[in-house]
Structure 1
């Protein structure tokens, strides 16, 4: 029996519609649970920089707004989208607000927790998950690891070069 990959899941988009992740088969994906009113919110700037720098090499960045931690994403879809565009120039895809932990966690985040183990479960906003071209979890990083950190960039470079 084939094990599931990230490509077996889809996300509702912040601006409407659905994003099937199999659309990105053959591309590495950096998925980040985000929030607009968090001490880590300035990481949006570096996420946009990662997107701008690596997009031409095939990397996809996806933000996943989440209100699970400290109720730091209270806005509706329009407010979140406006905040991200106005303050950080975010142009990468954003999912609709979702849960990343507990019984209501989105199936993709349940899969990520299973694949990465107990320590990979998001314990705050801005956990980063690097999914390889094959849809398998390659690496993950906690909130304190910034998107332009050397370890993150090295992992992205490896994922881009992976066959």
Structure 2
């Protein structure tokens, strides 16, 4: 019985130290910049006090159909200080080989995308964009994309609220529940 209590205590203690609330956040999301898909500088401070869904995207992926749900999610909540930010990346299966211009045309033509899109960047590894390095540093490996259409919810304080893998659809109850709680 003592061994069971000790094991339970150690397990609880371990999870306490692994909690995402322990992130130091020397910087917040709004402290960064990234280039738009058309080459202009996006100051993420322009999104201050907004909730952001950061999604690495690709045009030739089995999950590309999620663009429709991302656009619908954006339209549903954009008047409640919500932004979807699409971040094209070619790091997974070479599924985003096009130029920024080609990606933009693809998204507008096939999915009527109106939410902001960035230039194509790396989202994992040593060459990852600083936003993604920041996410890993503050939220751990669950914020590192394992494939295209990985989602990170940034709350209106500029901190990571939650991260979801590619299989979690943008209009899933998991994402909607978190968004409606924090919007």
Aligned twin of 2:134? 111
Cα distance in 1 for partners of 2:38, 2:114 equals 12
Which of 141, 144, 147 in structure 2 is aligned with 1:124? 147
Instruction: Indicate whether 1:79 and 2:102 are aligned.
Output: yes
Q: Name the structure 2 match of 1:66.
A: 89
Structure 2 length-normalised TM: 0.85
Q: Which runs of 5+ in 1 are unaligned?
A: none
User: What stretches of structure 1 move > 4 A for 4+ residues in a row?
Assistant: none
Q: Counterparts of 1:132-143 in structure 2 under 5 Å?
A: 132-143=155-166
Taking the aligned partners of 1:84 and 1:146, their CA distance within structure 2 comes to 18
2:33 to 10, 17, 20: 10
State the Cα distance separating 1:119 from its structure 2 match: 2.8
Instruction: Give the total of aligned pairs.
Output: 160
CA RMSD for the aligned pairs? 1.1
TM-score, normalisation: structure 1: 0.95
Corresponding residue to 1:30 among 48, 53, 69: 53
Task: Encode CA deviations 1:96-154: one digit per residue, 9 max, x unaligned.
Answer: 00000111100000111122212321110001010011100011110000000001011
CA distance in 2, matches of 1:61, 1:27: 10
The structure carrying a bigger helix percent of its residues is 2
State the distance in 1 between where 2:163 and 2:151 align.
5
Residue 2 of structure 1 and its aligned partner are, at CA, apart by 6.7
Structure 1 equivalent of residue 181 of structure 2:
158
Alpha-carbon distance in 1 for matches of 2:90, 2:53: 20
- Look up the match of 1:57: 80
Distance 2:51 2:61 in 1: 26
1:39-58 equivalent positions in 2, closer than 5 A: 39-58=62-81
2:119 to 90, 93, 96: 96
- Structure scoring higher RCO (CA < 8 A, sep ≥ 6) equals 1
1:13 Cα offset (Å):
0.3
